Structure 1
Amino acid sequence: MAVSNNRANHRKLPKNLRNPRRPKLPPDMDYSFKRVLYEGVVSEACSDGIDEELEMGVEKGRMCDDDDEGIMWESDEMEAISSLFKGRIPQKPGKLDRERPLPLPLPYKIRPLGLPTQKGFTNRSRQSISTQVYKNPTFLIGLAKEIQGLSTEENVSKVLSKWSPFLRKGSLSLTIRELGYLGLPERALETFCWVKKQPHLFPDDHILGSTIEVLAGSNELKVPFDLDKFTGLASRGVYEAMLRGYIKGGSLKLALKLLSMAKESNRVLDTGVYAKLILELGKDPDKSTLVLVLLEELAVRDDLNLTPQDCTAIMKICIRLGRFEIVEGLYDWFRKSGGNPSVVMYTTLIHCRYSANKYREAIDMLWEMEASNCLFDLPAYRVVIKLFVALNDLSRAVRYFSKLKEAGFSPTFDIYCSLIKVYMASGRVAKCKDICKEAEMAGFRFDENTLLKLQQ
């Protein structure tokens, strides 16, 4: 019996009494409140230990009854304290419609903690000297200018040796091309010979191709007797560099020979090389047949890749040859390939349709040019004014003449002649005299026939 009484007295307290989730109770409690609290808790408690704790509280309350007679407890406080013995404190309703924060993106969950992310930008001052120097155009062009300043007796190694540890393969190709622009093919060859002695810089096709292009462009490249064997060993980059050099140097026969050899050996060359050869051949009217042959070869290529400048230049040659359909085909290809026509290309198309007497189609191209907010240059104004003079549209011709002067351009002699022509066609002789005076003040002189017509 004694053992059972002992167990009843030392029974464990509930969790809410052992680890209370609340601040300490007020030190002084009212006896009347404790009595009510005691009655409410006794009915719900199921353990003798709780009864003993409450009885001890009641005794303490009786002792402090006289001191706390004036304290009045509010209903919220009583409810909060009484709930400590019943369970969790009821929370007052707050913002019920609060939004949950979005979950973190997937990479943040996958990435292991503690690993730093890679820097997207590194300070140039922290990079090694080799990284800053080996492909810096300003530095490489500066080397060419230093070599240019050497005396005739001095070798290029005087400039290049001190930078040798910081150079890499392909670095000096820009220096060699710059020496070619400066008219120093001998120094370019010396630079190549110095590179050949550096095991960390050679062999390199970029430097070899640049040297061959410079020497061929200055007619300093010796053509071997067995050209087929020589070109058969060359890579595509070196082959194209040789071809570009011969085109630049005006050796078009050698360029055509290299092109035919490439065709025989089924070697595919870049379309830009064809474009440059067409531009050079197009300057000679007697070689129009060769130009048309090369254009047909370009039309068959599926990998046609022309720069806007090359495309516009080929259009101008085709206009000179009267092949207007090729011009339209090139323009359609350029638009389908995602290119945005420049003012030069728009002007070329308008001039093409004007030359083909397709005036209405030329006006459609002009409206397309206006809709694209393309700024007009002087050749564009010249072509547009000629177009409206051909249509005998005086008002629009005068409007674009005024726009030309507002844009700050000085009218050329043929523009003045076109305006005089359209004013004469409409019978406005007085206006013709004004245009003639304006042209003479600008320094132009008209022929006797024009002056006689104005004096009548």
Structure 2
Amino acid sequence: MFDPMLSRNCCMFGTTYESFPWSLSTYSIYHTSLTTSTAAASSFGRRVVSMAVSSNKANHRNPRRPKLPPEVDNTFKRVLYEDEEEMTQKPNLDILTDDDDEGVVSVDSSDGILWESDEMEAISSLFKGRIPQKPGKLDRERPLPLPLPYKIRPLGLPTPKRFKNCSRESVSKQVYKNPTFLIGLAREIQGLPIEENVSMVLSKWSPFLRKGSLSLTVRELGYLGLPERALETFCWVKKQPHLFPDDHILASTIEVLAGSNELKVPFDLEKFTGLASRSVYEAMLRGCIKGGRLKLALKLLSMAKESNRVLDTGVYAKLILELGKDPDKSTLVLVLLEELAVRDDLNLTPQDCTAIMKICIRLRRFEIVEGLYDWFRESGGNPSVVMYTTMIHCRYSANKYREALAMLWEMEASNCLFDLPAYRVVIKLFVALNDLPRAVRYFSKLKEAGFSPNFDIYCSLIKIYMASGRVAKCKDICKEAEMAGFRFDENTLLKLQQ
């Protein structure tokens, strides 16, 4: 019986034989007996497939046995058709698929057995290797794996959740250091009736306050002239465990009471000061200076010196400023200046340094002023317009006009803005130098800056115009001064002519 499928396959392999010089064993496929039944071939193929699959399972059961690549049987070949009339130039071990015919696509070379497509797929899958993948980005960085919760979680029992009152905490952070709020408390206490206690205001804010918060409120009460309310505030704080003890509010209260002369000095002052901290001691000293009790301040200063207690240099500066107002106490001022000069930890603010300079100019101790200025520049400070004006006035008072002029050029080189006292001192300097053009130029700068000349500036200009013999200009300056509200009598004009 003639099999058309077998005839078609034979024709296909015959064409392949003519085109490619395959081995003789392959050529024997075309001369095999055509009488072999298809059922026998199929059963034989299934046995081969089952043997291959069982062999593959056996390899998986015994993992210690090395997995060797299977031996490729060169007798299995495939011809790939791109078209019915064209044929590829290279054979490949793959399955030939045909949409029109589903049947046998390959023949075994040894026994002349026909293979079906599903059988060839099962056999060829055993010899396929790993599918090559497309190369990706070689410089790609893989992200780190996310931490697993069970690995980062600490061992032990879970900790209980602690709930916080965030609203109270946020309000506390906003108010316990806020100057506007703390000063507002003092204003609110000021508005209380006399019979009411400060607890009416402070009790509702107690949970939001911290240690040291009410020290600013106590100082504000001192500025308002309410030392009794300041003492009541301190007594209320003493009853609050979370606000007391606190040296800040104690020092503020003592400074306010001493500044208003309401502080009762105990008989055993040495015992009291021995137990006081440095901040409380300095607060008492500042309060005595502010209240005008200079004798008590000098006594506290001497007690601190005897007990080797080191106080802030700013306290010395404030005491020197108050003592310098009295010419009879110049000796005490010089003693304090000597004590201040030997301090290695000299730390004066620009305001304290300028205040000491002015006192030394009044005492005509110009060398101390020059020494303070040199120390301030060496310590890295930037002089202000007040310090520059003080130095120009110091050299002008010492009749060192050229040195004062050099200080003026230094002041202008630092781009320091002039104020009215600076213009006044500079114009007096040019009058002493008899430099009329520069005096007139700085007088014009004064007006351009928006300042109104005072009586001393008008007198200085009248004096230099009279020295230059410009009487008409003197009359113009007098008229301008009279329009500004100043009046020159005959004695003043006579003094300016001299």
TM-score range, shorter chain: 0.7 to 0.9
Residue equivalent to 1:434? 476
Of the candidates 423, 427, 442, which is equivalent to residue 385 of structure 1? 427
Pair 223,7 (structure 1): closer, same or farther in 2 beyond 3 Å: same
Q: Deviations over 1:10-54 (max 9, x none)?
A: 89xxxxxxxxxxxxxxx969999964xx5xxxxxxxxxxxx5449
Displacement after TM superposition at 1:128 (Å) = 2.1
Per the alignment, do residues 9 and 334 of structure 1 end up closer, same or farther by CA in structure 2, a change over 3 Å counting?
Answer: same
Q: Which among 274, 296, 300 is matched to residue 338 of structure 2? A: 296
> C-alpha separation between the residues in 1 aligned to 2:362 and 2:148?
69
Residues 319-341 of structure 1, C-alpha deviation per residue, up to 9 Å, x if partnerless?
00001111111111111111111
Distance in 2, matches of 1:385 and 1:170, equals 49
Identity, % of aligned pairs? Answer: 85
Supply the AA of the counterpart residue of 1:366.
L
Aligned to 2:318: 276
Equivalent residue number for residue 21 of structure 1: none
- Aligned equivalents of 2:496, 2:487: Cα separation in 1: 13
Cα distance between partner residues in 2 of 1:171 and 1:329: 40
| 2:63 is aligned with 1:8 | no
Q: Is the 8 A contact 2:252 2:283 kept in 1?
A: yes
Quote the Cα distance in structure 2 between the aligned partners of 1:366 and 1:406.
19
Q: Is the 8 A contact 1:170 1:204 kept in 2?
A: yes
1:142 equivalent to 2:184? Answer yes
Equivalent of 1:414 in 451, 456, 461: 456
Q: Distance in 2 between matches of 1:305 and 1:367?
A: 28
1:9 deviation in Å? Answer: 2.2
Q: 1:34 to 1:153 in 2, by over 3 A?
A: same
Q: TM-score, normalised by structure 2?
A: 0.68
Give the drift of 1:141: 1.1
Secondary structure of the 1:201 match is coil
Alpha-carbon distance between aligned partners in 2 of 1:30 and 1:427, rounded to the nearest angstrom:
130
Tell me the residue number matched to 1:425.
Answer: 467
Change (3 A) 1:261 1:89: closer
User: Structure 2: any 5+ residue segments left out of the alignment?
Assistant: 1-24, 26-47, 53-69, 76-80, 99-131, 153-165
Distance 1:192 1:429, change over 3 A: same
Q: What residue number does 1:47 align with?
A: none
Counterparts of 2:84 and 2:493, CA distance in 1:
126
Matched, 1:211 2:253: yes
Tell me the equivalent position of 1:305.
Answer: 347
Measure how far apart 1:424 and its partner are. Answer: 1.6
Counterpart CA distance in 2 for 1:454 and 1:284 is: 30
Report the more deviating stretch, 345-354 or 138-147. 138-147
Contact preservation (8 Å) 2:385, 2:416: yes
Counterpart in 2 of 1:447?
489
User: Aligned pair in 2 of structure 1 residues 52, 233: CA closer, same or farther (>3 Å)?
Assistant: same
Q: Which residue of the other structure, out of 364, 370, 380, is the alignment partner of 2:412?
A: 370
Kept in 2: contact 1:179–1:185 (CA 8 A): yes
The residue matched to 2:194 in structure 1 has which SS? coil
**Which of 294, 316, 327 pairs up with 2:369?**
327
For residues 271 and 337 of structure 2, what CA distance do their matches in structure 1 show? 28
Structure 2 residue matching 1:228: 3-state secondary structure:
helix
SS in 2 for 1:128: helix
Point out where structure 1 has 5 or more consecutive residues left out of the alignment: 12-26, 39-50, 61-86, 91-99, 101-108, 116-123
Render the CA deviation track for 1:210-265: whole Å, top value 9, x for unaligned: 11111101101111011111100000010000001101101000000000000000
Instruction: Within 5 Å, give how 1:157-306 maps onto structure 2.
Output: 157-306=199-348
Q: Determine the C-alpha separation between the residues in 1 that align with 2:274 and 2:489.
A: 61
Map Cα deviations across residues 129-187 of structure 1 (whole Å, 9 max, x no partner). Answer: 22222111111111111111111111111111111111111111111111111111111
Q: Which runs of 4+ in 1 moved over 3 A?
A: 27-35, 51-54, 87-90, 112-115, 124-127, 449-455
1:51-85 alpha-carbon deviations (Å, 9 max, x no partner): 5449x99x99xxxxxxxxxxxxxxxxxxxxxxxxx
Change (3 A) 1:283 1:127: same
| Aligned residue runs from structure 1 range 25-36, under 5 A | 35=89
**2:114 aligned residue:** none
1:359 to 401, 409, 415: 401
1:286 is paired with a residue of what secondary structure?
helix
Aligned to 2:16: none
Deviations 1:85-108 (A, max 9, x none): xx9999xxxxxxxxx9xxxxxxxx
Residues 273 and 450 (structure 1 numbering): CA distance in 2 closer, same or farther, change over 3 Å?
closer
**Closer, same or farther: CA 445–170 of 1 in aligned 2, 3 Å:** same
| 8 A Cα contact 1:208 1:238, kept in partner | yes
Change (3 A) 1:141 1:10: farther
TM-score of the superposition, structure 1-length normalised? 0.74
